[in-house]
Amino acid sequence: MTESITINCIPMKSITILALILLSLTLVAQPPRPPAISSPEVNADKSITFNYYNRNAQRVYVSGEFLKSPVAMKRDTSGVWSVTVPPVTPDIYPYSFWVDSVQIADPNNTYIFANERFKRSIADVPGDKPLIHSLQNVPHGKITYAYYNSTTLGTTRQLLVYTPPGFEANGKKKYPVLYLIHGGSDTEETWTKVGRANLIADNLIAQGKATPMIIVMPYGNVRPKPMPDFTKDVINDIIPFIESNYPVIKESKGRAVAGFSVGGGQTLNIGLTNTDKFAYVCSYAPFTATEEFKNNFSDWKPNTTTMNKQLKLFTISVGTEDFLYESVKQNIAMFQEKNIKVEPFIVSGGHTWMNCKLFLATSLQQLFK
Amino acid sequence: MTESITINCIPMKSITILALILLSLTLVAQPPRPPAISSPEVNADKSITFNYYNRNAQRVYVSGEFLKSPVAMKRDTSGVWSVTVPPVTPDIYPYSFWVDSVQIADPNNTYIFANERFKRSIADVPGDKPLIHSLQNVPHGKITYAYYNSTTLGTTRQLLVYTPPGFEANGKKKYPVLYLIHGGSDTEETWTKVGRANLIADNLIAQGKATPMIIVMPYGNVRPKPMPDFTKDVINDIIPFIESNYPVIKESKGRAVAGFSVGGGQTLNIGLTNTDKFAYVCSYAPFTATEEFKNNFSDWKPNTTTMNKQLKLFTISVGTEDFLYESVKQNIAMFQEKNIKVEPFIVSGGHTWMNCKLFLATSLQQLFK
């Protein structure tokens, strides 16, 4: 009797948990879904604990842009591998696990580095005070995913449009537009998912440090089409799409172009061959070993006076540990030799999205002023 | 001399390729980034070829919802593992690779299943004619990512809002709204990234089969908060946010709620306890083994006459191979016993997003008519 009462009294919560375990076991084929574990866990002292479940792996490492080299994780008797890495500077860092021969994103972390080639996760280490990319209690803009027809590329493509807080689609106000391009194997989502461009803009606008603007994040890869086709896509398809669908300033003083890595090279190609269209050109750690860059700039003889008048801002940013640092310095020197007013912005750090956020946060305070 | 000429004459394309290889080697820590390979490749006969690079793995399998059991991939001398699976019915399928002990998303596929617990990829097998979820040459709506303050949950949360083609934020037209909830470990992005809710709506609106509507896709997980808090979040925070920011019909005849799996259970809880607010309730393969469902419905004595008048549509959809099929059938019977007008929609197939798309495409043609 006592036993039967006990059985009848299993609290509903336990039944729910049992049901959820059953659901877990059934939803994914074989082997069964691993237990729910939390990873990464950022501790109060800014150390980070990583957890990963695998009963059969021989070796598991965590590799991340806060580490000089991968760190071995230790397995407990239940098959959960863990390690705590020493405190790191607050920022957002890409990381991955190496499980024997395989590099993987952290299965328990929803935040993935938007990329076409690798699968990495994002660890968000908050500051004691909110960082410039943190979600803060300020008015928020919106990100819109829209399709446009690219006559250049003969296809329908997706782009992202950040509209600032208080944006009115049919209001009287005309906004300036920043065209913001991702890196080589990134996607149109990388500037928001990894670069937090929307939150950086929200915060700088709330602080009165940035002019409210629209930020257009296109998809910059045109493989196997040649690179110049992306320049055409921006000029002939994307700008007309934006200007016929959003209330924007349709003059060069209301247009900026910026980009990182391969996108930094595209920025130079797009911006400097169209200074009648873009008054602001911000190139971040540009990768310029392309045929398009050579064609555009090896025998380049611009009308310097005109160009320096047209360009209200031309910056090239790079970190001193960036593997492209020497190449970027040479490009800065090349533009200076041609008497183009370029403002170098040299910081520490490598070819990273931590630096990207810094570069963008810096540019947003300079644009359209 | 000849040699030096040869060196000077390396075509720019080769230099670009060399530079890109160098870039590849440098950007990712160790080991070097794998070669660029294409995966998945959908062949003309709808067979699918999967490719994966790993020089050190012992065994690699592809596992997918188009397969009864995982299929072994074969390694060539360069370390590329491949397999071609027989032709499959055109649809979008989740799949993953098993590399020794590790389940991974396909590193060469950008399209990832938005989920908090597992990392899978999406294979898109097109039909000979466009499918209802295919990107077609029709007017496209937009997806907006917005933040709202949840007073219920004490946090700022993200939700997605689909606005139909021709949507005007400040126009006279008032739109009906479908609140569409994802499955248990999914995210607010799963209905668009895996369910293609936006493209299904675009296509059905273009064909005149669906009423132009706004689709709100919130984030349904409230762990560790109890489930009823999501119901409160929808009623007290999300609906007011949408109704103060979008031109919508603010009556029950202009509101629908739908959801899959855990979200299907949430749909029943939210919809049937608020029939004054929702005239349309569409539950897909609902998971109902929750305390909230028990509290709401075990001693439920609704005013059937009132409720059947309020509900213009109440459907429960499920596949006969769904592991929840028996439970769903019992729930349908329970509602029928209480004389609630429920329309069962029973199809073949399992607890899958292939069925989700079918359920949604069916609902969209029934709502707001």
Do residues B211 and B369 lie in contact, with contact meaning Cβ atoms separated by under 8 Å?
yes
Contact A99 B102 (CB under 8 A): yes
Give B169-234 as a DSSP string: TTSS--B-EEEEE--TTB-TTHHHHTT-HHHHHHHHHHTT-S---EEEE-----TTS-THHHHHII
Min Cα–Cα distance to chain A from B309, Å = 33
Q: Is B20 on the interface with A (CB under 8 A)?
A: yes
Please give the residue of chain A at the shortest CA–CA distance from B142: A146
Q: The tokens of B367 are what?
A: 């709502």
Tokens 């320096």 sit on residue: A308
State the DSSP code for A248.
Answer: B
- In B70-116, beta strands by DSSP E: 71-72, 74-75, 80-85, 91-99, 102-104
A/B interface, count of CB pairs below 8 Å: 148
Q: Is B75 on the interface with A (CB under 8 A)?
A: no
Q: Is B187 on the interface with A (CB under 8 A)?
A: yes
Strand partners, B127: none
Contact B57 A101 (CB under 8 A): yes
Q: Is B71 on the interface with A (CB under 8 A)?
A: no
Min Cα–Cα distance to chain B from A329, Å = 17
Please give the residue of chain A at the shortest CA–CA distance from B67: A29
Contact A118 B28 (CB under 8 A): yes
Alpha-carbon distances of A277 from A24, A155, A163, B151, B348, rounded to whole Å: 55, 24, 21, 45, 56
pLDDT at residue A23 is higher than 90: no
Q: Is A46 on the interface with B (CB under 8 A)?
A: no
According to the model, what pLDDT value does residue B33 have?
Answer: 53
Of B23, B30, B101, the CB nearest to A184: B23
d(CA A115, CA B74): 26
Please give the backbone phi and psi of residue A351, each rounded to the nearest 5 degrees, phi first.
-85, 70
Chain B residues with CB under 8 Å of A15 CB are 289
The arithmetic mean of pLDDT across residues A122-150, rounded, is: 97
Chain B residues with CB under 8 Å of A12 CB are 291, 294
d(CA B118, CA B310): 39
Q: Which of A203, A139, A161, A167 is nearest to B149 (CA)?
A: A139
The CA-CA-CA angle for residues A202, A203, A207, to 5°, reads 120
According to the model, what pLDDT value does residue B16 have?
Answer: 47
Contact A104 B101 (CB under 8 A): no
3 state SS of A112: strand
Contact B289 A115 (CB under 8 A): no
Of A30, A33, A184, the CB nearest to B118: A33
Please give the residue of chain A at the shortest CA–CA distance from B327: A19
**Chain A interface disruption, residue of B16, B81, B294, B356, most A CBs within 10 A:** B16
Chain B residues with CB under 8 Å of A99 CB are 101-102
A62 CB-near residues (< 8 Å, 6+ apart): A50, A70, A71, A73, A83, A85, A95, A96, A97, A98
Q: Which of A136, A108, A131, A110 is nearest to A46 (CA)?
A: A131
According to the model, what pLDDT value does residue A95 have?
Answer: 98
d(CA B296, CA B288): 11
Alpha-carbon distances of A198 from A138, A267, B257, rounded to whole Å: 12, 20, 29
Q: What is the pLDDT of residues A318-350, one digit of tens each?
A: 999 999 999 999 999 999 999 999 999 999 999
Q: Is A10 on the interface with B (CB under 8 A)?
A: no
Q: The tokens of B277 are what?
A: 């607010």
Chain B residues with CB under 8 Å of A23 CB are 184, 287
Chain A residues with CB under 8 Å of B116 CB are 108, 110
Q: What is the pLDDT of residues A259-269, one digit of tens each?
A: 999 999 999 99
A139 CB-near residues (< 8 Å, 6+ apart): A165, A166, A202, A205, A206
**Chain A interface disruption, residue of B101, B167, B295, most A CBs within 10 A:** B101
Contact A28 B118 (CB under 8 A): yes
Q: Which of residues 95-114 of A touch B (CB under 8 A)?
A: 99-105, 107-108, 110, 112, 114
What is the distance of C-alpha A30 from the center of its chain?
Answer: 34
A320 in the Ramachandran plot: left (φ > 0), alpha (ψ -120 to 50) or beta?
alpha
According to the model, what pLDDT value does residue A252 have?
Answer: 98
d(CA B97, CA B52): 9
According to the model, what pLDDT value does residue B34 have?
Answer: 58
Do residues B159 and B188 lie in contact, with contact meaning Cβ atoms separated by under 8 Å?
yes
d(CA A177, CA A182): 16
d(CA A280, CA A256): 4
Min Cα–Cα distance to chain A from B312, Å = 31
- ipTM computed for the complex: 0.89
Q: Which of residues 232-251 of B touch A (CB under 8 A)?
A: none
Strand pairing report for A91-99 and A60-64: antiparallel
| pLDDT category of residue A171 using cuts at 50, 70 and 90 | confident
Alpha-carbon distances of A314 from A278, A360, B1, B149, rounded to whole Å: 10, 13, 42, 39
SS3 content of chain B, % helix, strand, coil (to 5): 30, 25, 45
Amino acid of residue A166: G
Chain A residues with CB under 8 Å of B351 CB are 26-27
Chain A residues with CB under 8 Å of B94 CB are none
Contact B143 A142 (CB under 8 A): no
Q: What residue ranges define each of the domains in chain B, with the CATH number in brackets?
A: 35-125 (2.60.40.10), 142-364 (3.40.50.1820)
According to the model, what pLDDT value does residue A33 have?
Answer: 53
The arithmetic mean of pLDDT across residues A272-292, rounded, is: 97
Min Cα–Cα distance to chain A from B303, Å = 27
Chain B residues with CB under 8 Å of A119 CB are 104-105, 107, 112, 119
Contact B119 A110 (CB under 8 A): no
According to the model, what pLDDT value does residue B8 have?
Answer: 31
Q: What is the pTM of this model?
A: 0.90
Q: Is B151 on the interface with A (CB under 8 A)?
A: no
Q: What is the pLDDT of residues A151-166, one digit of tens each?
A: 999 999 999 999 999 9
Please give the residue of chain B at the shortest CA–CA distance from A38: B117
Mean pLDDT per block of 10 residues along chain B (369 residues) reads 30 42 40 72 97 95 96 96 98 96 93 91 96 97 98 96 95 96 96 98 98 98 92 98 97 98 98 98 97 95 95 98 98 96 98 98 98
According to the model, what pLDDT value does residue B288 have?
Answer: 97
Contact B291 A12 (CB under 8 A): yes
| pLDDT category of residue A6 using cuts at 50, 70 and 90 | very low
Rounded to the nearest integer, the mean pLDDT of chain A is 91
Contact B104 A104 (CB under 8 A): yes
pLDDT at residue A14 is higher than 70: no
Q: Which of residues 119-138 of B touch A (CB under 8 A)?
A: 119, 135, 137
Q: Is A78 on the interface with B (CB under 8 A)?
A: no
